[in-house]
Chain A
Amino acid sequence: MLLLLPGLVLLLAGFLVPALIMLLAPPDTTTGEVLARLARMLTDPYDLTIIGRTLGLGLIVTVTCVVLGFPIAYLLARSQSRWAGVLLAVAIFPLLLSNVVRTFGWLVVLGSQGAVGQTLVALGIVDEAPQLLYTPLAIVLGLVQLFLPLAVVSCYSALAQVDASLDEAARGLGAGRARTFWTIVVPLSWPGVVVAATLVFAGSITAYTTPYLLGGSRQRMLSTQLFQYSSSTIDWAAASATAMIMTVLVFGVAALSSVMGRRARTS
């Protein structure tokens, strides 16, 4: 098919082939060296801390985004108010906005001269503004802000397809509000929740801007470590090994999510 050809060339030459070469045989090293480095990373305490931090924070961010995003999507999808459209737009709008701009806000809020610290001092709760930047909490806040809109969109599109009259039917048959929610609303919109969780988790464990600005060198994650290896220390084997770990994690999550999505559809 002639139409496919230019796109296929771009994809192969500009992405798939370079990515494979980089993972398996980066400059000045061999595949063996990359694999040896990979094996060392999976046993070295320092590297394991970074992998653990990346996965742990990713998990916290994912749970938080679903717990906050699902109610937003649910209330917006069921609301009759004309404000619902405006609120939905407000929730989606940040997806268009630069991550640098969004993350910079937390420097203003959490910095030593920032809003939170100065308020605590002014209220006399603490004498000196606490160190809030470069902590795991800062990274989590930044990533939740970054990915919450994505969770809202995914949950909303699933909830919008669930007929609201099903809720009413359950309620009419005597189910309480909570029971209706857990037996009708959640199972029917589950695929949307799975999509939301997948996008947020994959995004969180590979995001760069937020951990760089809010975590700094004190709270390294896989992404900031990868950049360090490839720009400052120029350790190609380590960079490739880190890239491999990130790629495998993301594909693993995608595979897991497709299994969970399928199970939801058949049950």
Chain B
Amino acid sequence: MNTRRPVAASLAVLGYIVMIAPLFFVVITAFTAGSTVRFPPDGYSLRWFEAAVTYQPFMSALASSLQLAVFAAIASLALGVPVALAIHRGKIPGKGLLEGMFLSPLIVPELVVGLALYQQFMIGLGMNNLTTLAIGHTVLMFPYAVRVTGASLALIDPAVEDAARGLGATPMRTFFTITLPLLRPGIFSAALLAFVTSFNNVPLSLLLQSREFRTLPVTMLDYVQQNYDPIVASTSVLILAGTVLVAVVAERTVGFAKIFGGINR
């Protein structure tokens, strides 16, 4: 790295080590031939990858997590895009306050949200955990939809929309032929963020789990508490690989840094 700034460079190297080194050890452990998580591993094999993909609880939890994340991403966008439009294009009083309110699920601790839904919906109203999880994840992903599509909406020149309307397009037609296509990268970023965040969520999913419907991170967390074998390492490597794939797609389509720029408060 930069040798003219020795202090900054050494701190930066240390930072990268803290961020990356643990992952490096997970990858090595995943390829162990032995039956315990130890370092250095007892030889190398792919047996724990085979164990991971044939371990029923993880695979059904993976299916649950994917379904829930897709639902939360679609639902939060379906509700969030209109809100972003109203805040950035509509003539309504108290926009700042309103936006703050819509972003509030980001600030309130997730466990608090989870506990509230657990008490009021599952215990109070007797809802099943699937419905409660779907509502909870949508609520948590909602700020991403409002914030990220809002940020990209702010970059679109309203004059383009005015021009379309001036030429006789209805508001509906203006939205679908002008605004929506320009908004596509923003919507894609928001969808991706919501999907990834929902897929990785622990606190909310932990409080709202049931024996029938559990997400993958929660199942892995439970597993680690009871057993300490390399199956979690190989599952982690599979998740890592999947996440790299998502990152590459994100980089190719919208640009990585841009996606995260959108949620910075």
- Given A75-B8, A114-B39, the answer on whether A11 and B142 have CB atoms closer than 8 Å is yes
Task: Using A104-B236, A208-B202 as known contacts, say yes or no to A4 and B92 having CB atoms under 8 A apart.
Answer: yes
Q: Is B172's beta carbon under 8 Å from chain A?
A: no
Q: Provided the pairs A148-B18, A227-B207 are in contact, do residues A250 and B107 lie with their beta carbons within 8 angstroms?
A: yes
Complex: A105 Cα to B18 Cα, angstroms: 11
Residues of chain B within 8 A of A209, CB atoms compared: 202-203, 217, 221
CB distance from A214 to the nearest CB of B (A): 11
8 Å CB interface, B1-34 against A: 1-2, 5, 7-9, 11-12, 14-16, 18-26, 29
Instruction: Select A100's contact among B1, B86, B138, B220, beta carbons within 8 Å.
Output: B220
A183 at the interface (CB under 8 A from B): no
Among A15, A156, A157, contact of B105 (Cβ-Cβ < 8 Å): A15
- Classify chain A's interface size: 35 or more
Q: Counting CB contacts under 8 A, is B186 at the interface?
A: no
Residues of B within 8 A of A108 (CB): 22, 25-26, 29, 37, 39, 233
Q: Which among B113, B146, B199 is the interface contact of A19 at CB below 8 angstroms?
A: B113
B1: nearest chain-A partner, CB-CB: A75
Chain B CB within 8 A of A219 CB:
no
Q: Check B119 against A236 for contact (C-beta < 8 Å).
A: yes
- For A74, give the chain B residue with the smallest CB separation: B8
Task: List A171-223 residues whose CB lies under 8 Å from chain B.
Answer: 177, 195, 198-199, 202, 206, 208-209, 212-213, 223
Determine how close the nearest CB of chain B comes to the CB of A127; give it in whole angstroms. 17
Which listed residue, A93, A98, A195, touches B217 by the CB 8 Å rule?
A98
Residues of B close to A231: CB separation below 8 A: 207
The reply to whether B199 and A6 contact each other, CB–CB distance below 8 Å, is: no
- List 8 tightest A-B contacts by C-beta distance, closest first: A105-B22, A68-B15, A113-B38, A206-B109, A3-B82, A71-B8, A18-B120, A18-B116
B124 interface neighbour in A3, A7, A14, A27, Cβ under 8 Å: A27
Q: Known A-B contacts: A96-B243, A247-B109. Give 15 more (CB < 8 A).
A: A11-B105, A11-B142, A68-B15, A89-B256, A95-B260, A100-B200, A100-B202, A100-B236, A104-B233, A105-B24, A105-B26, A145-B22, A213-B221, A230-B118, A236-B119
* Residue pair A145, B19 in contact (C-beta under 8 Å): yes
CB distance from A209 to the nearest CB of B (A): 5
* Mask of A112-123 contacts with B, CB within 8 angstroms, 1/0: 011100110000
Q: Is B161 an interface residue (CB 8 A)?
A: no
Docked pose: A118 CA to B37 CA in angstroms:
12
Given A3-B85, A97-B243, A100-B221, verify A14-B138 contact (CB < 8 Å).
Answer: yes
**Shortest beta-carbon distance, B229 to chain A, in Å?**
12
Chain A residues closer than 8 Å to B18, beta-carbon distance? 68, 141, 144-145, 148
Q: Which of A6, A88, A109, A195 contacts B22 (CB 8 A)?
A: A109
* With A3-B83, A92-B257, A101-B26 as contacts: A113 and B36 at CB distance below 8 Å: yes
A237 within 8 A of B: no
Known: A141-B18, A213-B221. A195 touches B240 (CB 8 A): no
CA of A145 to CA of B24, assembled, Å = 13
- What residues of chain A lie closer than 8 Å to B163, measured between beta carbons? none
* CB-contact partner of B119 in A27, A69, A104, A223, under 8 A: A27
Docked Cα-Cα span, A152 to B83, in Å, equals 30
Neighbouring B residues of A136 by C-beta, 8 Å: none
Given contacts A4-B83, A109-B21, A223-B203, contact A93 B15 (CB under 8 A): no
| CB pair B240 A99 closer than 8 Å | no
Residue of B8, B19, B260 contacting most chain A CB atoms (<10 Å): B19
A74 shortest CB reach to chain B, Å: 6
Contact B139 A11 (CB under 8 A): yes
Does B123 interact with chain A (Cβ within 8 Å)?
yes
Q: A11 to B236, Cβ gap below 8 A?
A: no
Chain A 82-98 per-residue mask, 1 if CB under 8 angstroms from chain B, else 0: 00000111111111111
**At the interface, yes or no: B194 with Cβ under 8 Å from chain A?**
no
A57 contacts chain B at the CB level, 8 A cutoff = no
Q: Which one of B25, B108, B111 lies within 8 Å of A226 (CB-CB)?
A: B111
A159 to chain B, nearest CB (A): 12
Indicate whether A22 reaches chain B with its CB closer than 8 angstroms. yes
Tell me the bound Cα distance from A51 to B139 in angstroms: 28
**Residue in B25, B118, B247 whose CB lies within 8 Å of A93:** B247
User: A118 and B39 in contact (CB under 8 A), knowing A22-B115, A71-B9?
Assistant: yes
